[in-house]
Amino acid sequence: MGIGDWLTQTFGSRSPDSAAPVDSPSAPIPPDRLASFGEEDGPSLHETMALFRVARQTTTEGSAIATLMARDKVVPLPDDLALEVCRALYDRGEVTQSIVMLERVRTSAGRILSADIHEESGQFAVALVSVEKVLLVDYEYPGAKERLARLRARLGIVHSPVERTHGSATIVGDRPKAPFTILREAGRGGTATLFAAQDSELGRQVALKAFHNGRSDRVALLHEAHMTSKLAGPGVIRVYDASPDDGWLALEWAEGGSLRARLDAKDQRLITAAQWLMSLAKTLARIHAASFVHLDLKPSNVLFLGNLESPVPMISDFGSTKRRDEPTGTGSLGYVSPERLTGRHAHPDDDIYGFGRLVEDTIVALGTTMPSGVATHLDALARHCLAPSGTRPVDGQALLTIVPELDEPPRASI
């Protein structure tokens, strides 16, 4: 019997997606069809989903799950199919296996399921992180904001320690009083607006960061200027000048733009110039060796200098930076580690978590346009960096031992 005949016999004239439950608990599944998913002559995704949904209503459910999980190790299952397997595992009470597979599902539906499972098991911070990732992509996703409020209440977070930063709007006052010619607005965030400006005295372009509250932001401005200067060196954006009284910082201009802009544009040069990940890891290693933690690693805070074909990544915005073991302040929605959400003091592996989120964002943005080898390397790296504290690399130096050059085979340690 061909697969078309089998589907017709099982579902009748309706489509597989609208199929009624199978009456027989032993309805036969065509042999080896699920096991050949991803092969040239194997079933399509649509057909595989239909086969699996039928198997779930028969005595073959367990073997169908095992087959697809084994297949996932050979050819990673698409997110929609992986999510079906995760739901089946959870429904069967195999929660641990469901959570493990959910780590690689990056759809909003998968992250909401992950949040619900972790909440049920009492891992509220991990659940909160999953919900924040959803809101970062879709602020109106059904049920996400309700979960956010409930989980924050469970963790005793009365005033939100996170801000929505990507795509949000900020009301900005007059342009700052500064000895530069402002060319245009280059970006804005929760605390400041960034302008492209010209230093006519030295004939160079600068990034003029104007704090929204002027003199009342004096402490924050001085802290950022001091940290940026103290950690000056390879991979850290330079600070040229500052005026705490007028509320501005003059910083090195990054002509290559931000990682956020490149992800939004699905810039393929993030693949061909993949050494940016290694460079970024080296910068984190240097910062951590000085006993500091950046604490706000996100796409808008990674800038690029130099030629667009071989850019040099630079870390910016040291306003949240703390010494190791100091209490932490605010962070950015979707980029704060679960441990930090529970109140843990600054730890280098908070930055490793942020690094993992950058890798994850790259995977999501570039999707199927990445060569399979690169995608496999990045996925393994992201999972390693997003693992629980104690399992992920402890600091930047440890991160350097697992970040592969993307034109080399993945290392066994990942």
Tens of pLDDT along 386-404? 999 999 999 999 999 998 6
Range of the domain at 386: 259-400
pLDDT, residue 98, reads 92
| Both structure tokens of 385 | 């960096």
Q: Which of 11-25, 171-185, 238-252 has the lowest mean pLDDT?
A: 11-25
Q: From residue 226, how far is each of 138, 195, 208, 223, 246 by CA, in Å?
A: 36, 21, 16, 5, 17
| Whether 228 and 277 share a structural domain | no
| Whether 155 and 22 share a structural domain | yes
pLDDT of 106 > 80? The answer is: yes
Q: CB under 8 Å to 81, separation ≥6 — which residues?
A: 37, 45, 48, 49, 52, 68
Query: Where a domain ends, among 252, 270, 286?
Result: 252
| Whether 158 and 14 share a structural domain | yes
CATH of the domain at 7: 1.25.40.10
pLDDT, residue 215, reads 66
- What average pLDDT score do residues 370-375 get? 81
- What average pLDDT score do residues 7-24 get? 40
Residue 135 lies in a domain: yes
| Both structure tokens of 149 | 């409020």
Give the pTM.
Answer: 0.77
Q: Which of 34-48, 131-145, 191-205, 278-292 has the highest mean pLDDT?
A: 278-292
| Whether 213 and 71 share a structural domain | no
| Both structure tokens of 147 | 């979960």
- 217 pLDDT band, cuts 50/70/90, is confident
Query: Where a domain ends, among 218, 252, 286?
Result: 252
pLDDT, residue 25, reads 41
pLDDT of 9 > 80? The answer is: no
pLDDT, residue 192, reads 86
As for how many domains the chain has, the answer is 3
| Whether 265 and 248 share a structural domain | no
| Whether 158 and 40 share a structural domain | yes
- 208 pLDDT band, cuts 50/70/90, is very high
Distance, CA of 190 to CA of 168 (rounded, Å): 8
- What average pLDDT score do residues 259-271 get? 89
pLDDT, residue 306, reads 80
* Percentage, residues of the chain above pLDDT 90: 55
Q: Which residues of 331-353 are buried (b: 16+ CB within 10 A; e: fewer)?
A: bbbbbbbbbbbeebebbbbbbbb
Q: Which of 3-12, 206-215, 266-275, 277-286 has the lowest mean pLDDT?
A: 3-12
| Whether 105 and 209 share a structural domain | no
pLDDT of 167 > 70? The answer is: no
- What average pLDDT score do residues 117-138 get? 92
